[in-house]
Structure 1
């Protein structure tokens, strides 16, 4: 890492949101909550905060030979907005390719990367700071993932099909079945997330006819509440089950 880049790695420490508008993840509540929860990690501003991004595509278009390609990128969010999305700071960690989408097998493909991230999180790695000319123990945190809904289902294991697709609403989903379309629709499910005085809540013409929205957004579960829901589940089996 160059001296100039090493200097910018601590930019987020003095990030000042002058207009109270979010222009970088360091301005957001998630970043601040992470700092307050992991004080030891936050005490060293040179520790690296990453995002993981993936999406699939067919490189040969609609050809007779189907082919799937899923690149996995790692982004460095320590850097300022003018740098963190530049090509030279976006790292291609792996490419998952094959005749079909990896689906649940993405867990297996990502295992080497996850093992490295866990190593850096729990134990850190001795690193040289070319700006301050000193060694320090650098830790790494994966802050979040970036993907579409299909990629979200593959990365998290959450089912993205059917009425319970929304990970926020869960059993309180207001999705409904289209009899003629033969699929689930989430139309007009988002007004409950608007402020209570928002005019869209009282609009009876441009959403579901004759319907207003008086409900509030579903309760956000805490970590303990989420754990109480899943602690009884069996051990996770990585990848697709073997074919009989």
Structure 2
């Protein structure tokens, strides 16, 4: 009986929280940011962006994606979004762009920022975004027997983070979070960029994607584009540029709401 009462109370709290999430008004100050990392990395790479934004008064939450499926990563992102107390800028790097495209329909999301990130449409797969563009010859993925992928250790610095120190690149290489490669064949159900304003930061020396592919994706979603000389690891090496773009997104949305 006690357990049932506890479960009933927990359910009531969850329903109340959900109701609060859906009641958020864009007229409230946009002071929340949720950061979503991509494949082969974890949330710690956002530390520089986090420091930049918190110094400017933002409340910043960093998602730790399991990288086991699109549904799992979206669920992790939604858990973070549920905890926000007002309009939120949702930011994704690389694979994280696919995640924010699906999760960005959440009521708390006021705008999207794509950091050298993927942005499929509803009904498309992530893998389809590569079609018609030059392959990333320096970004080599080794597939394990269980279907998970790692960036080749021999190619990691050149392909992922050529502008990172040798020591930091080695740590990133050896602390990789593998991704289930089946995620690239999962069709999206939603495309938040169709209803939420978008911004894009593109690394001009990104070896994970063809430049034409990054520009095509950003232009298709009508994102305001900022280019910066950086590797695929621009979320680490260019924290001020990324933070400035997030800040611009928040202020633009706020000004239009007033």
TM-score class normalised by the smaller sequence? under 0.3
Relative contact order, CA 8 A, sep 6+: which one is greater? Answer: 2
Question: So what's the TM-score if we normalise by structure 2?
Answer: 0.23
Question: So what's the TM-score if we normalise by structure 1?
Answer: 0.24
**Structure having the higher Rg:** 1
